[in-house]
Amino acid sequence: MKQLLLDVLAAPAPSLENYVAGPNTEALAALRALGPARAVYLWGPAGCGRTHLLRALSDRRDAVYLDSRSPVSAYRSVAQPDESSARPRLVAIDDLHLLDEPRLACVFSLYNRWRETAATDMALSLIVAGELAPGNLELREDLRTRLGWDLVFRLDVLSDAEKTDALARQAASRGLQLAPEVLNWILTHYERDMRQLAALLDALDHYSLAAKRPITVPLLRAMLAEQPHPSPNQSYSPLS
């Protein structure tokens, strides 16, 4: 059983289709309609889906996704590309609040490039995400101003009722029928990020099939107890 859980499949790749919008329908609609020469700044607390949306939008050949772990050279190549460099048509910058000064300087230059090319055939889409509203970020003022040049959306975390509904629908899509007490136990005792919850469903499905037992709270507890370091907040998702 332990080996089975270690080998469990990762949660589905982020997409606009599997993003559970909840109160964020306006932001999702704007991102679906996003075209060249548009810029969006998304902000909200951990678990609101910032990274999910940026990963989904940058899952194309002419797009680049960057975060605080990306090398400065990658930032420079999109902010000030030379003539021999491939020029992405969409740039997604995640976790702005974690970027250091060299990377922030590149984001500043990237906004300038976005505005300069807006009316040309080299126009690009720019999506930036951070934890706080522009006015609350500790940034140089000229960069803070640029974050509001186009669209700004606050993303909110799903309510418990919305998460319960989303979890039930994700389970149904896998052919699983989860009793209300199972759903309540998961949301009470387990990590509430929707990507991690989706990965937990996959693990639970595999475990139930291997054990040849229906999905119940005792089965869920048994699955988690078999982990090397059992924890109600253990994550099965590789995405940050």
Q: What are the 10-residue block averages of pLDDT along the chain, 240 residues in total?
A: 45 82 95 95 93 94 96 94 81 97 96 94 95 94 95 93 85 85 86 72 87 91 73 38
Alpha-carbon span 240 to 199, nearest angstrom: 13
Please report the sign of the dihedral spanned by the C-alpha atoms of residue 18, residue 203, residue 197, residue 68: negative
Task: Give pLDDT, residue 62.
Answer: 93
Task: Return the bridge partners of 129, or none.
Answer: 42
The amino acid present at 53, given as its one-letter code, is: L
Domain borders along the chain are 2-8+159-225, 22-154
Domain 2-8+159-225 has CATH 1.10.8: yes
- Strand ranges of the sheet holding 63-66, from the earlier edge strand across to the other edge: 63-66, 90-93, 125-130, 39-43, 151-154
CB neighbour list of residue 149: distance below 8 Å, 6 or more residues apart: 39, 111, 115
SS3 152: strand
Give this prediction's pTM.
0.79
Q: Please name the CATH architecture into which domain 22-154 falls.
A: 3-Layer(aba) Sandwich (3.40)
Task: Give pLDDT, residue 2.
Answer: 42
Task: Give pLDDT, residue 170.
Answer: 81
